[in-house]
């Protein structure tokens, strides 16, 4: 077995791409993160692949300041990959991925460090079957542009605060929105009488897959079907853009979204978790 550290996203993509693209639903976050790195020039903290008998059997990606993405690290390789990551980057804020893989990786981290892990969020991935848009919702969708970055950034901040209480700088959120727009992400606004009342994001198609999210409706506009309508509009954009798979995550602690998306034609695929590490 050989573990290889890659110095550029392009080198990592050449090695890990076939493994990740073989299961784009399982590796949706890693694929979109890697696509953004390659196209927008963002550096990566650590990019690792495991090679066995001439094949790539595991891949890990960690963006600066973000948890390690470990869905492509089989449990049998978790300890070796975790140790290599520690050698390359001793400060690791956490890990995220499908449950078997993130559980094994976290166990390896705790065994090596004696540290602690806290579950930040447990999520469920849904994949779209046949799209069923809601009927009778007032308003219509439009694609947002740079002039809407301030509004979208403020909603990103509100979304993050509601999701896990994590503070997000609005200036940083605005840069994320502008970068997203440059990369071809569809930021869709649902408007009623010309006033934005909800938004949904559809990622560019990568490996035949597009991921929806975040979806946000300000509290004063909730209960009118806007989230369902804008999610359906974002899903339609992804399908029209050529996506064979349209996916989204829900917070397992939020019963509303776990009821909403199946009504639009989404079906559960697997559960994931994101954990925070501390000493």
Higher pLDDT, 168 or 132: 132
Give tens-digit pLDDT for 194-207. 999 999 999 999 99
Q: CA 107, 110, 115: angle at the middle one, nearest 5? A: 150
Backbone φ and ψ of 143, nearest 5°: -85, 130
For residue 215, pLDDT beyond 80: yes
For residue 153, pLDDT beyond 80: yes
E-assigned strand segments in the chain? 2-5, 46-52, 55-62, 68-69, 94-98, 116-128, 140-143, 186-192, 195-202, 209-216, 245-251, 266-278
Contact between 16 and 59 (Cβ < 8 Å):
yes
Q: How far is CA 144 from CA 32, 57, 62, 193, in A?
A: 20, 40, 29, 16
Q: What is the pTM of this model?
A: 0.93
The average confidence (pLDDT) of the chain is 94
2 cis-preceded (ω within 30 degrees of 0): no
Report helix, strand and coil shares of the chain as percent, to nearest 5: 40, 30, 30
The whole-angstrom separation of Cα 177 and Cα 159 is 13
pLDDT at residue number 168 = 79
pLDDT at residue number 42 = 65
For residue 43, pLDDT beyond 80: no
The whole-angstrom separation of Cα 279 and Cα 277 is 7
pLDDT at residue number 89 = 87
Give tens-digit pLDDT for 217-249. 999 999 999 999 999 999 999 999 999 999 999
- The residue written with tokens 């509100």 in the block is 158
Q: Per-residue pLDDT averaged across 13-23, rounded?
A: 97
The whole-angstrom separation of Cα 185 and Cα 98 is 24
Nearest of 142, 274, 155 to residue 213 by alpha carbon:
155
For residue 152, pLDDT beyond 80: yes
């Amino acid at each position: 077995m050989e573990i290889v550290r890659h110095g550029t996203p392009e080198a990592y993509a050449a090695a890990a791409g076939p493994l990740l693209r073989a299961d784009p639903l399982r590796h949706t976050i890693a694929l979109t993160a890697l696509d953004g790195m390659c196209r927008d020039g963002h550096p990566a903290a650590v990019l690792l692949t495991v090679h066995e008998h001439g094949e790539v059997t595991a891949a890990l990606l960690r963006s600066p300041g973000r948890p390690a993405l470990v869905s492509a690290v089989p449990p049998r390789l978790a300890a070796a990959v975790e140790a290599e990551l520690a050698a390359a980057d001793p400060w690791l804020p956490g890990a995220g991925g499908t449950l078997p893989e993130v559980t094994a990786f976290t166990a390896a981290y705790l065994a090596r460090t004696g540290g602690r892990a806290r579950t930040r969020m447990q999520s469920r991935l849904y994949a779209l079957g046949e799209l069923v848009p809601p009927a009778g919702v007032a308003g219509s969708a439009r694609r947002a542009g740079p002039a809407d970055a301030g509004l979208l950034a403020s909603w990103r901040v509100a979304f993050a605060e509601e999701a896990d209480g994590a503070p997000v700088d609005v200036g940083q959120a605005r840069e994320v929105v502008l970068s997203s727009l440059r990369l071809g992400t569809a930021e869709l606004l649902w408007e009623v009488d010309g006033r934005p009342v909800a938004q949904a994001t559809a990622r560019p198609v990568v490996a035949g897959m597009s991921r929806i999210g975040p979806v946000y409706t300000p509290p004063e506009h909730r209960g009118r079907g806007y989230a369902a309508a804008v999610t359906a509009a974002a899903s339609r954009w992804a399908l029209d853009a050529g996506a064979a798979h349209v996916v989204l995550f829900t917070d397992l602690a939020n019963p509303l979204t776990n009821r909403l998306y199946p009504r639009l034609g989404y079906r559960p695929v697997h559960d994931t978790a994101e954990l925070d590490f501390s000493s």
